[in-house]
Amino acid sequence: MSVNLPQAEAKRLAASWSRQDWICLVLGLGIAAATFAGDRSTPRGVAAGVFPHFLAIGVATWSTRRWMPFGLALLASTFTLVGFALTEGGRFDIILVNRLFLVAAYWLVAFLVFQKQSLDLRLRQSLVARVAGTDQRSRELAQGESRLRLITDRLPALVAYVGADERYRFANKAYEELVEVPVERIVGRRVSDILGAPAYRVVKENINRVLAGEIVRTAVDLPTESGIRNFRVFYLPDRDQDGAVAGFVLLAVDVSEELALQQQLQQTQKLEAIGQLSGGIAHDFNNLLGVITGNIEMAALHAGPEERHYLDAAQRAADRGVALIFRLLTFARRQPMHPAPTDVAAVVGSMEELLERSLGEQVRVRVSAPDSLWTAMVDAHQLEAAVLNLALNARDAMPEGGMLVLEMQNLTPREQRAPGGPALAPGDYVVLSVSDNGTGMTAEVLEHAFEPFFTTKDVGKGSGLGLPMVYGFARQSGGTVTIDSEVGVGTTVRLYLPRAAAGSVAAEADSVVDGKLQPIEEGLAVLLVEDDPAMQSVATAMLEQLNCEVESCNSAEQALEILGRRRFDLLLTDIVLADGPSGYEVALKAKERSPGLTVVFMSGYAESAAVHHRRLAAARELLEKPFKLHQLAVAIERARRTAAE
């Protein structure tokens, strides 16, 4: 560009006449003509046109026409020689030589003027090239800065350059959005003025370190008008030619959302770990409770009134332990569910009287549901337990009394998540809202609401498993649960329950009534497989109490050996056995040998029991440990009735 521009300028100058060019030409011609006229009036030997002709040629110095000095020199030479020819006097040869020297002088002056013009032209061209180069570099710098800003503005990060005087030299769009100040107003101002005193105190130490020449990588929790925002920040010092720190580059990435997601993940992992622990110890706890409740019940059958008083107290304590394990397993989503099409409005409506009695006169209960409420696919008994838990929590939040509102509605979420809550599978949901106007929860309490054993109640007044049980029930049912709470206003818990398939009808209640001993066939031959000696003893006593002929063993190998030499009417087996095959495999081989054999499973590890129970279609009954005598009788009778159909 620096070579082409002078050539283009030279062509432009050669092609166009300026006003100055015309003036120089006219002035040169005029001086030459006037000199010629003066030369005619003088004697031949005087030559009046010497110096005026020099002046006429010199006028071309200010012209851009490079031929003009030679043209004027030619004109001066012509006038000088013509003037010599037209005048008389003096010696001819001497004056002619003199005149020829004058002509030579004219051409010498013309050459000098031409050199002056060439020098001026080169200077002008050089100036034009410099100006053009400067403009080009300016445009390139402007384009480079524009590209740099375009790139930095599109980066999902804050980028800024700060001088050693802590004044901004550059800031991108993300930085502008953080401080809510236009870039034009950021540049040139101090960091403390833009960030404000609270935020500046947080970053001041990092600025001091980077200005001392240190590369700083750190995490910063920056207070802003919208709250605390978390950044991963890099401070990079910028040094001048002498090695001194002239400023620093700031690169900051907002990691607030990532930290929030990480905390949610940690919370989920913690809950999952607790759930796995709960499921792992459930088998042992349920076996222990089975031994306790079974022995209490057997002892109560032979005890007098005074002894029964103590045994009843022990039974109530054991039942509380059973309920505690049930809640823990429900939270852990390891409690076997029996979902069926359920009329949620009917279930909740049937509990209204129970809730009024349980909550006391100071708490009013209102139930509301539309006529077109969908049928939900849930376990009705666990739904009742969840509603009761929520109602009791609401009562505790309203010590002076208040209103408990249970509302139901149909919902098809626009997004695959509950409003303000966790993700949901696509589909329709029945939403059950339980609201109170009690004391409400603080943000800290709300954060831990679903954690097991977390409670704000006094010691001995709450297990901290109510809300975790509700959470586990909702998630295990395929839905979720959310909480909205405000201190002094109240709390609303929403259960999202999946809608049952179109055309399904709510199941009727079971025809067998718990608590009544069902009659079974006397002398029923039963093989009991149980690896826990204490539980085996209790189960044997219960079966004998039901007039059964019992043979027991503690392993799958022993059971298969006994089944090979004797016929039984019923196989009662634990699913999770200590050694060898599982109870499921024992039942499968037993059914191959005796297709008419009735099978009843029992297990204290509810999740494993449910899996095996689904795999053996012929065995419809599952006894969840701990169980009572009447529950054992009901299970046997159901299994035999099913096998006969």
Would you call 303 helix, strand, or coil by DSSP?
A: coil
Give the E-state strand segments of 316-471 in sequence order: 340-342, 363-368, 376-378, 402-411, 429-436
pLDDT-flagged residues of the chain (< 70): 1-16, 38-50, 83-95, 98, 141-142, 144-145, 267-284, 320, 322-338, 415-423, 448, 451-466, 502-519, 605-620, 644-645
Q: What is the pLDDT of residue 330?
A: 56
Q: What is the pLDDT of residue 510?
A: 40
Q: What is the pLDDT of residues 179-233, one digit of tens each?
A: 888 888 888 899 988 888 888 999 999 999 999 999 999 988 888 877 788 899 9
Strands 363-368 and 340-342, bridge-based pairing: unpaired
Residue 233 has φ and ψ, to the nearest 5°, of -120, 140
Two tokens, residue 64? 């851009």
Query: Residues for the chain: how many in total?
Result: 645
Would you call 531 helix, strand, or coil by DSSP?
A: coil
How far apart CA 195 and CA 179 sit, in angstroms, is: 6
Peptide bond before 182: cis, by omega within 30 degrees of 0?
no
> Which residue intervals of 87-218 are DSSP H helices?
92-154, 173-179, 183-186, 191-195, 197-211
How far apart CA 199 and CA 477 sit, in angstroms, is: 47
State in Å, rounded, how far the first CA of the chain is from the last one: 101
Q: What is the pLDDT of residues 138-177, one digit of tens each?
A: 777 667 667 777 777 777 788 889 999 999 988 888 888 8
How far apart CA 112 and CA 391 sit, in angstroms, is: 113
Two tokens, residue 240? 């001048």
Would you call 573 helix, strand, or coil by DSSP?
A: strand
Q: What is the pLDDT of residue 334?
A: 52
How far apart CA 309 and CA 299 sit, in angstroms, is: 12
Would you call 592 helix, strand, or coil by DSSP?
A: helix
Give the E-state strand segments of 501-608 in sequence order: 525-529, 549-553, 570-574, 598-603
How far apart CA 295 and CA 47 sit, in angstroms, is: 155
Rounded to 5°, the CA angle 327-330-336 comes to 125
Q: Tell which residue, 567, 574, 435, 411, has the closest CA to residue 494.
A: 435
User: 620 and 601 in contact (C-beta within 8 Å)?
Assistant: no
Residue 217 has φ and ψ, to the nearest 5°, of -120, 120
Q: What is the pLDDT of residue 28?
A: 77
Sheet holding 490-498, edge to edge: 363-368, 402-411, 429-436, 490-498, 480-486
Q: What is the pLDDT of residues 507-531, one digit of tens each?
A: 443 433 344 455 677 788 999 999 8
Q: What is the pLDDT of residue 16?
A: 66
Number of continuous H segments (helices) and E segments (strands) in the chain: 21, 17
How far apart CA 101 and CA 183 sit, in angstroms, is: 75
How far apart CA 291 and CA 281 sit, in angstroms, is: 16
> Which residue intervals of 302-379 are DSSP H helices?
305-331, 344-350, 352-359
